[in-house]
């Protein structure tokens, strides 16, 4: 560790590589909610966060683990799962009347076409307004897993069973990934629309009873 009378010890979270305070101060100054995206070794996590009196407050969240509730059979760390997590997050945020936010990727490297921006693409397609540059978004075919399906089709059966054993073990043929992706996306639409209808019905009931 550096020493000297003028040396200033960094905050613990900065030393641990968890927070870039220069970026964080700028985000806080904007006084807007943040769409916090984190990609772990196995999952995708997305949260809508605002600054509260006692620190960050999570308003809405979605994780790739929750995709199983909509029939997702793939893993939680690929581009398709990242997009669907962002899509689910966006639908849930809109149901809570949050229509816009800003992206917060923390200390993760900003590389066009990566899973971070697949999450962003999902949230945008869900209807959220988020400042962005279209050049960073992955293309539609990659999001749907068409490259995986095409790769699997080029293999013989033994090679495919070895390479995609995790998919097959979960009951998903890699060639069917694009169709499976669309099926799960449709189920998210149906479920979140039902949730929205329930919220609207409750609101109407409250308004009616108060008049």
Q: Which of 18-22, 29-33, 156-160, 185-189 has the lowest mean pLDDT?
A: 18-22
In the block, tokens 């070895």 appear at 162
**Whether the predicted pLDDT of 4 surpasses 90:** no
pLDDT at residue 5, rounded to an integer: 57
pLDDT at residue 77, rounded to an integer: 83
**Nearby residues of 97 by Cβ (< 8 Å), 6 or more positions away:** none
CA distance 39 to 70: 20
- Express each pLDDT in 81-133 by its tens digit: 999 999 999 999 999 999 999 999 988 889 999 999 999 999 999 999 999 99
- Express each pLDDT in 57-75 by its tens digit: 999 999 999 999 999 999 8
pLDDT at residue 92, rounded to an integer: 97
Query: Between these two residues, 10 and 164, which has the higher pLDDT value?
Result: 164
Cβ proximity of 74 and 80 under 8 Å: yes
- Do the bridges between strand 55-63 and strand 34-39 make them parallel or antiparallel, or are there none, so unpaired? unpaired
- Do the bridges between strand 44-52 and strand 55-63 make them parallel or antiparallel, or are there none, so unpaired? antiparallel
Q: Across all residues in the chain, what is the average pLDDT?
A: 87
H-helix segments, the chain: 12-15, 21-29, 79-95, 115-126, 140-143, 146-153, 157-163, 165-169, 177-209
Give me the mean pLDDT over the 49-53 stretch. 84
Element (H, E) at 49: strand 44-52
pLDDT at residue 24, rounded to an integer: 54
- Express each pLDDT in 189-203 by its tens digit: 999 998 888 887 777
Count of C-beta atoms within a 10 Å radius of residue 206? 10
């Amino acid at each position: 560790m550096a020493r000297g009378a003028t040396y200033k010890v960094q905050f613990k979270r900065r030393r641990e590589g968890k927070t870039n305070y220069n970026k964080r101060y700028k985000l806080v100054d904007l006084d807007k909610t943040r769409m916090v995206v984190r990609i772990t070794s196995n999952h995708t996590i997305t949260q809508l966060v605002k600054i509260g009196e006692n620190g960050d407050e999570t308003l809405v969240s979605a994780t790739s683990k929750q995709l199983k509730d909509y029939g997702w059979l793939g893993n939680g760390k690929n581009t398709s799962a990242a997009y669907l997590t962002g899509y689910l997050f966006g639908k849930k945020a809109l149901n809570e009347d949050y229509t816009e936010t800003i992206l917060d990727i923390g200390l993760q490297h900003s590389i066009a076409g990566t899973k971070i921006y697949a999450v962003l693409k999902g949230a945008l397609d869900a209807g959220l307004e988020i400042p962005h540059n279209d050049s960073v978004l992955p293309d539609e075919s990659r999001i749907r897993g068409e490259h995986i399906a095409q790769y699997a089709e080029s293999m013989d059966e033994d090679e495919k069973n070895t390479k995609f054993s995790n998919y097959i073990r979960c009951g998903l043929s890699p060639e069917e990934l694009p169709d499976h992706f669309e099926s799960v996306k449709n189920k998210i639409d149906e479920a979140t629309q039902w949730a929205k209808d329930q919220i609207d019905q409750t609101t109407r009931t409250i308004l009616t009873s108060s008049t």
